[in-house]
């Protein structure tokens, strides 16, 4: 089973070794597990995807170490600043090329980071190039309708969850007029309202918000199980994405933390999940699988 590729490059001095490490971390490489022994040391930098490319005939005019990136221009600016800081400004022109268009629909620049260490950084014009084939949802809510079902029980918390969900929808481009808010008495009533809304087929997603506090609810488990089951069932049977924003907490303090204090706002997170799932649903139902895979390749 193939696990990965490693390219080994020798660096002349300890100082260059440290400086290169600083540069690669600053460019966004994840630091891997290095090694040290009596004879020297190695620093590893990880990339999410690697290729081993054999070429026959004419070799492309590129360094043998190529790093595919996004935002090539800011990488270029970062490398330039690094050369100015660690070498001489006059070296920039000699060591760093400007990004140029390649014949394979990409832009590329090369840089000599150390003697005998030439690296090419390149960015494909196709933003999906080399990404694993996957259908992914967009985080755009523009032009889609969403319903929010929010329980009044524990309103001091659910109001905050609602604010979080509205914030996420608005910031993702959802128009005010495309959001319908339905207030129900407690968490117990969420599933039936969610189901009615989903069956109307007017919404791309349903966001459910509520808070169950164990301290106050003797039959907490029974209510929780039923609410979770009902929301899940509505989602599965109607095919409309339902985001689960029903908090289950031991104390009010815990709930407050999850409604915008210390642990984010679960209403915001639920709305983002609904937006993403609405987009995935749209893609899965509007385009055959093989076309989606081809579009992403």
Residues catalogued as catalytic: 219
Of residues 250 and 294, the one with the C-beta less far from ligand DLZ? 250
**Does residue 211 belong to the site contacting ligand DLZ (CB under 6 A)?**
yes
The reply to whether 122 sits near ligand DLZ by the rule CB under 6 A is no
CB of 185 to ligand DLZ, least distance (A): 4
Question: According to CB under 6 A, which residues from 152 to 181 bind ligand DLZ?
Answer: 153-154
Binding-site size for ligand DLZ (CB under 6 A) equals: 15
By beta-carbon proximity to ligand DLZ, the closer residue of 122 and 224 is: 224
Kindly tell me which residue out of 217, 233, 281, 282 binds ligand DLZ, with binding defined by CB under 6 A.
217
Residue 169 CB, nearest distance to ligand DLZ (Å)?
A: 22
Contacting ligand DLZ (CB under 6 A), which of 109, 122, 188, 244? Answer: 188
Q: Does residue 50 belong to the site contacting ligand DLZ (CB under 6 A)?
A: no
Query: Binding pattern to ligand DLZ, positions 133-152, x when CB under 6 A?
Result: ------------------x-
Q: Which of 223, 192, 198 is nearest to 277 (CA)?
A: 198
Q: Can residue 230 be called a binding residue for ligand DLZ (CB under 6 A)?
A: no
Q: Out of 216, 253, 291, 294, name the contact with ligand DLZ by CB under 6 A.
A: 216
Interacting residue with ligand DLZ among 111, 114, 212, 231 (CB under 6 A): 212
Interface with ligand DLZ by CB under 6 A: which residues?
Answer: 151, 153-154, 185-189, 210-213, 216-217, 223
């Amino acid at each position: 089973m193939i696990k990965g590729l490693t390219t080994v490059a020798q660096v002349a001095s300890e100082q260059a070794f440290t400086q290169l490490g600083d540069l690669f971390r600053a460019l966004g490489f994840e630091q891997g597990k290095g090694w040290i022994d009596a004879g020297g040391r190695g620093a590893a930098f990880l990339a999410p995807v690697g290729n081993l490319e054999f070429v026959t005939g004419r070799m492309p005019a590129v360094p043998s170490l190529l790093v595919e990136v996004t935002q090539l221009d800011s990488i270029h600016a970062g490398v330039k600043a690094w050369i100015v800081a660690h070498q001489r400004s006059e070296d920039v022109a000699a060591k760093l090329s400007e990004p140029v268009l390649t014949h394979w629909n990409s832009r590329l620049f090369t840089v000599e980071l150390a003697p005998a260490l030439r690296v090419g950084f390149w960015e494909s014009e196709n933003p999906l190039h080399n990404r694993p084939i996957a259908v992914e949802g967009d985080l755009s809510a523009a032009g889609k309708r969403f319903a929010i079902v929010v329980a009044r029980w524990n309103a001091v918390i659910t109001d905050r969850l609602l604010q979080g969900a509205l914030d996420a929808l608005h910031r993702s481009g959802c128009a005010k007029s495309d959001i319908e808010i339905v207030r129900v008495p407690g968490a117990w009533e969420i599933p039936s309202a969610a189901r009615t809304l989903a069956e109307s087929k007017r919404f791309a997603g349903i966001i459910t918000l509520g808070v169950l506090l164990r301290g106050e609810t003797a039959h907490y488990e029974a209510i929780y199980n039923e609410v979770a089951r009902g929301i899940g069932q509505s989602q599965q049977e109607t095919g409309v994405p339902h985001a689960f924003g029903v908090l289950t907490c031991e104390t009010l303090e815990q709930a407050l933390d999850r409604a915008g204090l210390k642990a984010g706002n679960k209403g915001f997170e639920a709305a983002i999940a609904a937006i993403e799932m609405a987009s995935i649903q749209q893609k899965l139902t509007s385009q055959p699988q093989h076309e989606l895979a081809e579009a992403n390749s």
